[in-house]
Amino acid sequence: HIGTSFFQGVDLVSNYFLKTMMKTEDTLEGIASFEEKRRPVWKNK
């Protein structure tokens, strides 16, 4: 974005990355397996 500071840009990219990554099946499986105290079953998705 034009007129965006470096730190605002980093914040935008970080937020996009986190929102994108938090939607993957493996991320959800990792969180669920941690909460259930079991080994995760990864699907590479």
Give how far Cα 39 sits from Cα of 30, 31, 32, 33, Å.
Answer: 8, 11, 10, 6
Q: Is 22 helix (H, G, I), strand (E, B) or coil?
A: coil
- Mean per-residue pLDDT for 5-24? 89
Q: Report whether pLDDT(13) > 80.
A: yes
| Average pLDDT value for the chain | 90
Question: What's the pLDDT score for residue 14?
Answer: 92
**Domain count within the chain:** 1
Question: What's the pLDDT score for residue 20?
Answer: 86
Tokens of 16: 């996009």
Q: Give this prediction's pTM.
A: 0.58
Q: Residue 32 sits in a domain of what CATH number? A: 1.10.12
Give how far Cα 1 sits from Cα of 8, 10, 11, 25, Å.
Answer: 9, 11, 12, 31
Over the stretch 23-43, which tens digit does the pLDDT of each residue have? 899 999 999 999 999 999 999
Question: What's the pLDDT score for residue 1?
Answer: 58
- For residue 1, the enclosing domain spans 1-45
- Contact between 39 and 33 under an 8 Å Cβ cutoff? The reply is yes
